[in-house]
Amino acid sequence: MEDLKQFFKKDNFAANSGIELLEASPGYAKARMDIEEKHLNALKAVQGGALFTLADLAFAAASNAYGNAAVGINANISFVKAATKGILTAEAKENSINPKIATYTVNITDDEGDLVAIFQGMAYRKKFPLDFSDV
Amino acid sequence: MEDLKQFFKKDNFAANSGIELLEASPGYAKARMDIEEKHLNALKAVQGGALFTLADLAFAAASNAYGNAAVGINANISFVKAATKGILTAEAKENSINPKIATYTVNITDDEGDLVAIFQGMAYRKKFPLDFSDV
Amino acid sequence: MEDLKQFFKKDNFAANSGIELLEASPGYAKARMDIEEKHLNALKAVQGGALFTLADLAFAAASNAYGNAAVGINANISFVKAATKGILTAEAKENSINPKIATYTVNITDDEGDLVAIFQGMAYRKKFPLDFSDV
Amino acid sequence: MEDLKQFFKKDNFAANSGIELLEASPGYAKARMDIEEKHLNALKAVQGGALFTLADLAFAAASNAYGNAAVGINANISFVKAATKGILTAEAKENSINPKIATYTVNITDDEGDLVAIFQGMAYRKKFPLDFSDV
């Protein structure tokens, strides 16, 4: 788990977006993002891309936590409540896993426990292991 | 168009992600992102969230270019080629428009003209106009 | 509930597909389909359209059970296990509900309790009530 | 092509749904469905599952036309216009193809040339060839 958290610190885009990986184990992960000015769109709500990135990091951690590289091939996201302030939490849970394909649902909730977005991700599982040598 | 481009400069998340809106008219938009270190994930490819954000800005511009606010309610993205360097371009085209709901396809292509990701977005069209007063 | 079940018996396509609505209440529904020869595709597995139709009926029942018409505007389905025989069950649960838009997850499972498909549906909620006069 | 058309006649669910494959070549296919009473839902519009099945057959034909089995793993469909009568046509075009994964867009249009639904499908390409021995 510590290795994995270190590994995902090398995700520059998530790091620059202020996203922190809280937990990760095979098939499960949790991440958080404290809403700042930099996350907002022109309508003053958290940009869809920021929400997607938060969900995507949780998805990546859950699917890569088996130790081999897994890459996202498809994702579907529904935006159900505008988020404007506070802390957002993304929780990824595995729905299914096969040798090649695995699927995950990620729920993003706000401070009040309300659902902000729901994300379905599909990962393609590669044969090569993650490289933890420099983490 | 100039108003709209100025309006979308207020999209902090897209701006911080280095995304530039090139064109926007009702039902159509084009945006670009020059790949930098900051866009990469832990596997050294452009993070899915960065690709999503690029597509999302083009989608937002195409759907808001009618002058009224339109918010994304659903998006589906397929990642078909890993991007690691060069310039990415997102082009949004309208598939359908109703009083309340409109749909768009956004193709992201790389320098070689290869498709990197394909994005389907659905927007809910609100009744209030965009505020261009301070752009 | 009895009214609603009768109402959905008028869904010709679902009825011809051998799909039965088992339960329906606001935000929740369950349906079943006993796999027959007629559901199979050219590769001898249940056709994706048959699985979609099963999920769609549960989604429609859950979203229409409030009494007003709700129409599906988007659905995303992931096929995770091939189904070839036995009974399939679809269970729809509401993720979010707003005055205009509601979202649902539908899981399709087989006899062994394995997940066969996962469906995300988004409904647009209309103002007019369902017509139960002739059910 | 004749082999492929014969092969897809063994898709019982599509055949029972009155769907006819018109054209199929590697990466491309066209199918049609003449709307009948049996395709309607409780609100007297073509059921979402019938539209999905029509799109799915075109998707399956386009992705299997290379001669090896390809199975749908994910599909996203947006319903943009209610269909109630006439002829529906689905046209599948390939967006991308890799050794393992290929993606397709299928547009369903009505008699008036209006878009009824837009479908994005992702297929997993297997190593074994289709069996044309008994077609």
pLDDT in tens, D77-120: 999 999 999 999 999 999 999 999 999 999 999 999 999 999 99
What is the complex's ipTM, to 2 decimals?
0.96
Q: What is the mean pLDDT of chain A?
A: 95
- Residue A4 pLDDT class (50, 70, 90 cuts): confident
What is the Cα–Cα distance from D125 to D64, expressed in whole angstroms?
8
Give the least confident one: A43-57, C1-15, C56-70, D7-21: C1-15
For residues D80 and B101, is the Cβ–Cβ distance under 8 A?
A: yes
To the nearest whole angstrom, how far is the Cα of D78 from the nearest Cα of chain C? 4
Q: What count of other Cβ atoms lies within 10 Å of the Cβ of residue D133?
A: 5
With CA atoms as reference, report the closest residue to A72 among D50, C10, B47.
B47
pLDDT band (50, 70, 90) for residue B114: very high
Interface test with D, best of B59, B96, B105, B114 (most D CBs within 10 A): B96
Res A135 pLDDT > 80? no
Token pair, residue C41, equals: 């595709």
Instruction: Tell me the three state secondary structure of residue A70.
Output: strand
**Which has the closest alpha carbon to C116: C74, C73, C87?**
C87
pTM summary value:
0.96
Q: What's the mean per-residue pLDDT of chain D?
A: 95
Options 2.130.10.10, 3.40.50.1820, 3.10.129.10, 1.10.1060.10; CATH for B2-128 is: 3.10.129.10
Interval A14-52: pLDDT, tens: 999 999 999 999 999 999 999 999 999 998 999 999 999
Answer yes or no: is pLDDT of D75 > 70. yes
Q: How many CB atoms lie within 10 A of CB D2?
A: 9
List all residues of chain B from 9 to 68 with a beta carbon under 8 Å from chain A. Answer: 9-14, 16-17, 37-43, 46-50, 52-54, 56-57, 60
Task: Count residue pairs from A and D with Cβ separation < 8 A.
Answer: 14
Give the CA dihedral D32, D37, D42, D45, nearest 10 degrees: 40
Judged against a pLDDT cut of 70, whether residue C129 lies above it is answered with yes
For C24-75, the pLDDT digits (tens) are: 999 999 999 999 999 999 989 999 999 999 999 999 999 999 999 999 999 9
| Count of Cβ atoms closer than 10 Å to residue C19 Cβ | 25
Domain residue limits, chain D: 2-129
* Predicted confidence (pLDDT) at residue D132 exceeds the cutoff of 80: no
Chain Cα centroid distance, residue A14: 9
- pLDDT (0 to 100) of residue B2: 79
**Does B75 contact chain C (CB < 8 Å)?**
no
Distance from CA of A43 to the nearest CA of D (A): 25
Out of D47, D52, D53, closest to residue C14 by CB: D47
Q: Do B76 and C73 touch (CB under 8 A)?
A: no
Give the residue, C32 or C131, on which the prediction is more confident. C32
- Is residue B46 pLDDT above 90, yes or no? yes
> For the structural domain made of D2-129, what CATH number should be given?
3.10.129.10
Provide the pLDDT for residue C134. 63
Half-sphere exposure of C44 (CA within 13 A, CB side): 2
C101 contacts chain A (CB < 8 A): yes
pLDDT of residue D30: 98
For residue B88, the distance in angstroms to the closest alpha carbon of chain A comes to 16
Q: What is the mean pLDDT of residues A73-95?
A: 98
pLDDT band at residue A124 using 50, 70 and 90 as cut-offs? very high
B80: distance to nearest CA of chain D, Å? 7
Contact C49/D43, CB-based, under 8 Å? no
pLDDT tens for each residue of B49-70: 999 999 999 999 999 999 999 9
Report chain B residues whose CB lies below 8 A from the CB of A7: 42
pLDDT above 70: residue B110? yes
**pLDDT of B135:** 60
What does the mean pLDDT of chain B come to?
95
**Three-state secondary structure call for residue A33:** strand
